[in-house]
Structure 1
Amino acid sequence: MHDFPARKHSLLHLGDLLETEKFIAFPSMEMLAMQAETHTRMFSDAFFNLIDSHKSLHLDMVDITLKEFESVIEILSADFRSRTLQFRTDVSVIAHWLRNNGITVASKTGDHRGEIEIIVMDQMQNTMRCRYRNCVIELISFSFILLFSSGEGSVFVIITRGIDN
């Protein structure tokens, strides 16, 4: 693995998720994409190891808490590099984060709530994009009613830390 060329490679489809010890040993890459055939959840310790090692990640379902989600944003906000994280997580985590920051069903594009600026809130397309600290956070493929009721389900999350964010 030490002679893995150029560190710009990605792994797109791994079937079942590899054992944690194996995939956290991958050398640092510009972008690592992992998708499981089954809906196996990645635990937060493995997720944070991958965040520390790779510039950008495209993952499947990640099992994180509200505090861990906030930590992910802090890590990316503090980084000087452009980075992207894509993953699915439980809708309840995102619902709590939004409510804790003053976002409601009545919120709309252009609103500012604390540190959050809503860039796009499109309930018809089930999409929300907001700026928070040095990151742009996009929530895709969810029902706003489900999101704000803390029901079951998952949300696709894209967190981008650009140089100009």
Structure 2
Amino acid sequence: MIEMKILGVDSYKDIVAFDKLCFPADYWKEEDWKELLSDNRATYYALMDRDIIVGDIFTYNWKGENDYLKIMNIAIHPDYRKQGLGYKLMGYAMDEFKASGLDRIAAETRASNVAMQALFKKCDYEFDKAEEDYYSNPSEAGYKYVFTQS
């Protein structure tokens, strides 16, 4: 049975391993995860199948600075894709967004990540702009999306 848990810095090794599994060429470094997970504005939602992370969405609340909720990362274990888990994870970000009092969510994806672009569209995000060379490993444009409170 898959259930959601919020994980913190004490789970960083499992989080790093999951990130490397999902993004083998472009994962975050351990020290980056440790730093971000230690920040009280960050929330790491994990979908767990027993003790295994099978999906995640990592958010950062920029209230008072940029005044938006940022989706920093979203991933689904390769063996669990095409089951609606990405949509479920986006729901946790939406719940956090509604409770935050912010009026905007910001997110981006690689230009080649058609599945993520389709998920953003399904969740009523709007394409904002493309930014050339936004990603590395390999170099690629980033497509930026926003969701605004109506």
TM-score (norm 1): 0.35
Higher helix share: 2
TM-score (norm 2): 0.37
User: Larger radius of gyration, structure 1 or 2?
Assistant: 1
